[in-house]
Chains A and B, each alone.
Chain A
Amino acid sequence: MGKRMFIEGNVAIGFGAANADCQAFFGYPITPQNEIIEWFAREFPKMGRIFVQTQSELGSINMLYGAAATGIRAMTSTSSPGWSLMQETVSDMANAELPCVIVNVQRGGPGGGPIRHAQMDYLQCTRGGGHGDYRNIVLAPASAQECCDLMQLAFYLADKYRNPVVVMSDAIIGRLRETVEVERIEFGPVPDKDWAVKGKANHKDGKRRLVEHSGDLFGRYPSYQALLQRLQQKIRQMQESELRYEDYEAEDAKLILVAYGYTARVAKEAVNIARAEGIKTGLIRLITAWPFPHQVIREKAVRGCKFLVVEDSLGQVVEDVRCAVEGRAEVHLVGILDRHIPTDGGMILPDKVFDKIKEIQ
């Protein structure tokens, strides 16, 4: 039985990481995730774990590279502008095949943007984010409970695939206080980390280990193509095995809403309102934003469903849905321009989504 707490999503991230035996946190202040760095500043020293406030997001991600190279579970946390700053090293970590967890509590953009919520980093997170061809697993919590649970899943998946995993939250989920059962989740065993750097004396065979992000320059792979083949294989494995989504009333629905994070909760409410009026709608809530449920959506398109994407952006998830339906279905969008007020505090609200549902019918 876990410990029951009334905490905000950002704080739940900390508890989740601690339960996953994360040993190191590197971070830099940026709104709206300062509660995360402050939690780690308070709690990690008490647990004898590593906490460093870095000099910038570049410092955070490069320290994470270093820690991950030693094989320990480590993470950083940032918000959208900091996430942008980190991309070169994330690309490096994908090449070097380093397990790591990066939390991005999305805020508005582009640019410095408002410090409040938005969902505009979807394309960047799900396409790797940096240069070169790789993918991050992207987990999208829609509650403080999921912040705690998906963090634990993130560390497991990072180790399983030796790949970066992004936990893509937003300022609303981060700052919303809810009841959370903080419980340690056990996953299966993870591969050995014999590749990690820890001093030759600490290796059974006494031979040196190298962590580098070229791939073939030091013999890790016999050729550049061999590296790419491994990355391709990894991408396929992650797609086949790690898809997670929630099907809410979508079984017999003719209009399917697609959403993640805070807008998924809004969409759920709109589905309830619509069902009460006899309109058969349902929601596919992305729990992994990558892998994306292409097949699930394609099947629904074949059955004649229409789609309504609800996302707090100018249209990013909608591109994946359009791709998945392969031209067979209508795809609509309720986006950031449909917020209830034009200031940065505006939100997409259920009544707006319901209006669109009625319009599409």
Chain B
Amino acid sequence: MNEEGKVVTKQMIAGRPKLLVRQTAGFVYCPGCHEPVTARAIAEALDEIGMGDRTIGVFDIGCNSFLLGLLDIDAILTPHGRPPDMATAVKRVHPDNIVFTVQGDGGLLSIGADPLLGALTRAEKITIIMLNNAVYGTTGGQMAPTSLVGQKTTTTPQGRDMTQTGFPAHAAEMIATFKGAAYSARGAFNTPANYQRTRRYIKTAFQKQMNKVGLSFVEVLCACPANWRLSPTESLKWIEEKMIPEFPLGEFKNVAKIE
């Protein structure tokens, strides 16, 4: 009771989601990185649908590997590019669990291309989450399949030259063309409104899996300040001005049944 005779109550309305583990040795991601924000969205989605205890994460080599310490769920670390293969096997063994992967754009669209195509054509009922930061992050910022034309990276020091190295790949649109895909969307975390939308996309993707429809996919445009050599807030601007025009946000496919 305060001095005016009133009772003051405090109710937490936003904080660390249950499934996100507090890092005791200090936070491991680069400042401003959107990978842990994706983890937050995943944690909130799993919590909302009550599946935190019946979820298995399959994470690729790269910055995604730190998710093993960040998300309080069963998880597997895979060789580079292979999560769709491992997820296929795990889902076949535990069909009652949500099985989802988290991979980078390099891990999914380069070395992961054959596992991806395998999972898509077999219409595996898994969820693939791809973090698109337009570079290979963990190894220091080399060109990735989604690097923009003209983008300077450590292996395209003069800028990505379309005559030599082609054009950025659009995963969400491409996956939407496969019959075995039940859901394909692209989100971002550069604004609060986009955060809420992307969190809904992830939840929808998990629900597609629970309803046994087909493969569900969410691409997330992720700030990577360290490798873009920008500050966190400058990175948000880069997403808005450079990435979103190339990679539009939204749902590209959303079906309730595949036949």
Contact = CB atoms under 8 A, between A and B. Distances in A.
B155 A37 contact: yes
Nearest to A56: B111
A58 B111 contact: yes
Interface stretch (B139-147, B177-185, B216-224, B232-240): B139-147
Nearest to B106: A29
A29 B111 contact: no
A34 B106 CA distance: 15
Contact of A55 (B61, B113, B138, B154): B113
B111 A41 contact: no
A28 B142 CA distance: 9
B92 to A, nearest CB: 24
A266 B218 CA distance: 51
A224 to B, nearest CB: 31
Contact of A41 (B106, B136, B154): B154
A28 B79 contact: no
Interface string A39-76: 00110010000000111111100000000000000000
Chain B contact residues (Cβ within 8 angstroms of A): what range?
20 to 34
A179 to B, nearest CB: 25
A56 B139 contact: no
B143 A53 contact: yes
Nearest to B111: A56
Contacts of A56: 80-81, 110-111
Given A56-B81, A112-B61, A38 B111 contact: no
A29 B79 contact: no
A31 interface: yes
Contacts of B154: 34, 38, 41
A42 B158 CA distance: 8
A81 interface: yes
B165 interface: yes
Interface in B162-209: 164-165
A56 B136 CA distance: 12
Interface residues of A, number: 19
B69 interface: no
A62 to B, nearest CB: 13
B156 interface: yes
Contacts of B156: 41
Given A38-B154, A38-B155, A31 B77 contact: no
B150 interface: no
Contacts of A31: 138-140
A30 interface: yes
Interface string B72-94: 00000101110000000000000
Given A41-B156, A53-B155, A56-B111, A81 B79 contact: yes
A56 B109 CA distance: 10
A34 B142 contact: yes
Nearest to A112: B61
B31 interface: no
B157 interface: yes
A30 B139 contact: yes
B58 to A, nearest CB: 15
A38 B143 CA distance: 10
Counting chain A CB atoms within 10 Å of each CB, which of B113, B142, B156 scores highest?
B142
Nearest to A37: B155
Contacts of B77: 112
Interface of A: 28-31, 34, 37-38, 41-42, 45, 53-59, 81, 112
18 contacts: A29-B136, A29-B155, A30-B139, A31-B138, A34-B139, A37-B142, A37-B155, A38-B154, A38-B155, A41-B155, A42-B157, A45-B164, A53-B143, A53-B165, A54-B110, A55-B109, A56-B80, A56-B81
